[in-house]
Amino acid sequence: DIGQFSEKLGYKSFIIGGVVRDIVLGKQSLDIDIIVEGSAIDLIKRYAKENNLTYHVYPEFMTGNIVFPNGLKLDFATARKEEYDSPGSYPKVEKATLFEDLYRRDFTINTLAIEITYSNFGKLIDYFNGLVDIKEKRIRILHTLSFVEDPIRILRALRFAGRLEFKLEKKTESLLKHAVEKDLLNFAPTGRINLELNLTFKEEKVLDILKLMDKYKVLYKLFGITLDKEKEKLLVKLQDNFLILKEILNTDFPTSSNYLYVLLSNYPQEIVYNLLKKYHFEKEAKYIDEFLSAFKIVKESQNKYTLYRILKSFNKEFLPALMSFLDSNKFKGIIDVLKKEKNPLIKGEDLIELGLKPSPEFKTILEDIFVKYLNDQFKNKEEAVSYIK
Ligand code: CTP
């Protein structure tokens, strides 16, 4: 009934962007963006107050949102034009029509709109032939200066192409190549590159996207690197490691740090550090030292006990990357340690059950049992118990 409400206020409202694209593609989308021809702020405030809902408004951007009790969040924006002072900078905003609002966007596949104003509810608006491009699996920019106005779109084009298995339309492709060649990524704020890379590393098809970034020399412009077969193999291993480790440790791992440590692994530490700093990967830069020293010790470690000691002190967040570089023996060694650590043969409560009184000595006994378990001296609990007895 936002559509009804909108009509009452004399505004036209439209669902636009990613969600419409994903509806056409039959994919799920989490964010719903609504454009209001009129005033989004006014619509949000009145609707939320009348229905007793939580809302936020950002008048200087002419945007805001309404939060529903079930957690659904709708983002609203007044239809607007944006003026860029210089390529890649944050834009100034001004009221406009839906057409003008859509015209400033990146690719045709993101320009579809569905009207929700009551009297036109459900009407599909496709000013730029986005529907055909989705059907033909094409990424197409709306105007020649698109990449110049916003070089971040170079990264977005490749991210969408990889994610959706789309191709760059011919003219878009040649303009993208030209923009890369002209070093336009160097004009984009590094903070925005950081955001875009973080999104990239969270994509399911990250490897395909990285291959495209390599093909179009974007990896080279950003980091001075190319992808060879060796690197690709490491990246495949990294992806497997995320899954294997998640299963054992029951946790998700940060993606950016792990991908970046693998991607930049041919460089000396100082260069890696500087590149990470350049693109505001502060945490990743901070931990590179710890990562590399753990890596060195793991490589040199002779037995599972040393592996166990290192793993105890090492920040496990970077384990997926670290394990990509290991030979299969060492890899299996770490997996074994992690599994045994998760399910030790004997716990404190077992000792109590055996009639021992809780004491500081418990720790020593447990550690002793665990080391023997690591070295395969015990195969099962019974063997450990009879050892204690
Ligand atoms: N947009 C743009 N140029 C950019 C970033 C965004 O033109 N550099 C436009 C796009 O048209 C996009 C809209 O702003 O549809 C919203 O951006 P975002 O939420 O990043 O895009 P989605 O299409 O929703 O992407 P995703 O599926 O990754 O959420």
Tell me, in angstroms, the distance from the centre of ligand 1 to residue 18's CA: 7
Each residue of 283-311: b (16+ CB within 10 Å) or e? ebbebbeebeebbeebeebeebeebbebb
**pLDDT score, position 55:** 96
Cα of first residue to Cα of last residue in the chain, in angstroms, is 73
- How far is residue 172 from each of residues 146, 159, 162, 378, measured CA to CA in Å? 9, 14, 15, 64
Please indicate whether residue 159, judged by its CB atom, sits closer than 6 Å to ligand 1.
Answer: no
**pLDDT score, position 379:** 83
Tell me, in angstroms, the distance from the centre of ligand 1 to residue 156's CA: 8
Neighbours of 365 (CB within 10 A): 15
**pLDDT score, position 319:** 94
Per-residue pLDDT 10s for the chain (389 aa) are 899 999 999 999 999 999 999 999 999 887 899 999 999 999 999 999 999 999 999 998 899 999 999 888 899 999 998 776 666 666 677 889 999 999 999 999 999 999 999 999 999 999 999 999 999 999 999 999 999 999 999 999 999 999 999 999 999 999 999 999 999 999 999 999 999 999 999 999 999 999 999 999 999 999 999 999 999 999 999 999 999 999 999 999 999 999 999 999 999 999 999 999 999 999 999 999 999 988 888 888 878 888 888 888 888 899 999 999 999 888 998 998 899 888 888 888 888 888 888 888 888 888 888 888 888 888 888 888 888 77
Q: What is the pLDDT of residues 312-351, one digit of tens each?
A: 888 889 999 999 999 988 899 899 889 988 888 888 888 8
- The answer to whether 137 and 119 are in contact (CB under 8 A) is no
Indicate the top mutation candidate among 106, 154, 204, 206 to test ligand 1's pocket, ranked by most ligand atoms within 8 A of CB: 106
**pLDDT score, position 238:** 97
Please indicate whether residue 150, judged by its CB atom, sits closer than 6 Å to ligand 1.
Answer: yes
List residues bridging with 82 in a β-sheet. 93
Atom of ligand 1 nearest to the CA of 199: 28
Please indicate whether residue 156, judged by its CB atom, sits closer than 6 Å to ligand 1.
Answer: yes
Please indicate whether residue 152, judged by its CB atom, sits closer than 6 Å to ligand 1.
Answer: yes
CA-nearest residue, atom 18 of ligand 1:
18
Q: Alpha-carbon distance 47 to 6, whole Å?
A: 9
Q: Alpha-carbon distance 2 to 117, whole Å?
A: 8
- The answer to whether 15 and 116 are in contact (CB under 8 A) is yes
Atom of ligand 1 nearest to the CA of 30: 29
Dihedral sign of CA atoms 342, 343, 345, 350 in order: positive
- Residue 32: which of 7, 6, 67 has the closest Cα? 67
